[in-house]
Amino acid sequence: MYQRKRRLKVEAYVDGVLNGDKIILSKAITLVESTLESDHLIAEQVIEKILPHTGNSVRIGITGVPGVGKSTFIESFGKLVTSFNNKLAVLAIDPSSQRSKGSILGDKTRMSNLAIDPLAYIRPSAAGSSLGGVSTKTRETMLLCEAAGYNVIFIETVGVGQSETTVKGMVDFFLLLMLAGAGDELQGIKKGIMEMADAIAITKADGDNKAKCQRAQREYKNALHLFPPSENGWYPNVLTCSAIDNHGLMAIWEEIEKYSKEMKKNNFFFSNRQFQNVEWMHDIILYSLKQKFYSNKKIANSIITLEKDIKNKKIPAISAARNLLKEYQQT
């Protein structure tokens, strides 16, 4: 059942967020996630006001297939991060999931230790989409968290779909969690995701599994070696870790710190963020143009027919497209 929530004034959101008030922060995120047009307008004003206070964080994307031990990793790694007195926000992006499917951050009980850490803020993924889709919602949430003083942001994805590209476009560092297997280590990881990684961490490197993980580490290092460095000159490293033994987590954190330092030195860190922000604007525009077209009912009906005609070779794709565009102009 939808229950209309009471909204605060713009200033109340802004002040609360800037004061690091977790309750107001949560309310502001709910506002951002709302599908109501009236909420969008308030949200936009809030975002505009907090904007000068954003950006002072390292944004880390974390992905991996279900079973890789993502929750356990994030909890242990997150505790390490807050132990250095960092304020950590853990967000999730998952365009496909309804809250009930909940493979990802469905509830805070997954990370019960981190959830009660006063330096950590965990925000479960919400279903539904807004202007610019899930990506926009998560970006705005990230900005709110930064304005609230969180200087380390984790953005978690499931690692099997399109959402990784979206996350890659909003983070500074992209960490891929992998399982050691027997020759089939990459099963389940979509092609291309490995290439986006700034580091790979092989999880569950403890007990009997340790040797297998080290073997996998060597194999991945060799494989990655074949790929050229990114435009920023960074060569992704492959590490092993165990959330149970707390082994390797520090090395991962040091890797991220090294990355930030080097990328700030060569200015990639900042130019990349500027680039991401401009890209974001274009993403929203494209998304909106597309959504407006495809949500047009007459168009939607025509598409069904035309797709069939294309498959049956009754009409070339170009004529079908032209017909649809003509029809759209007349609506």
Q: Which residues bind its own copies (CB under 8 A)?
A: 44, 47-48, 51-52, 54-55, 131-132, 136, 139-140, 143, 183-189, 191-192, 194-195, 219-220, 222-223, 225-228, 230, 274, 277-278, 280-282, 284-286, 288-290, 293, 306-307, 310-311, 313, 315-322, 324-325
Cβ closest to its own copies, residue 219 vs residue 245: 219
- Alpha carbon 53 to its chain centroid, in Å, reads 21
How many Å apart are CA 45 and CA 283, to the nearest integer? 20
Cβ closest to its own copies, residue 112 vs residue 277: 277
Smallest distance, Å, CB 233 to its own copies?
13
Smallest distance, Å, CB 257 to its own copies?
25
Smallest distance, Å, CB 6 to its own copies?
24
- Alpha carbon 44 to its chain centroid, in Å, reads 20
The 10 Å CB-count burial string (b at 16+, else e) for 2-19 is eeeeebbebeebbebbbe
How many Å apart are CA 3 and CA 173, to the nearest integer? 38
Smallest distance, Å, CB 4 to its own copies?
24
Contacts of 174 (CB under 8 A, 6+ apart): 60, 61, 63, 164, 167, 168, 196, 197, 198, 199
Cβ closest to its own copies, residue 98 vs residue 288: 288
User: In degrees rounded to 5, what are phi and psi of residue 167?
Assistant: -65, -45
Q: How many CB atoms lie within 10 A of CB 222?
A: 10
Smallest distance, Å, CB 40 to its own copies?
9
Cβ closest to its own copies, residue 83 vs residue 230: 230
What interhelical angle do 133-147 and 22-33 show, nearest 10?
160
Smallest distance, Å, CB 39 to its own copies?
13
Cβ closest to its own copies, residue 122 vs residue 177: 177
Which amino acid is located at 273 in the chain? R
Cβ closest to its own copies, residue 92 vs residue 306: 306
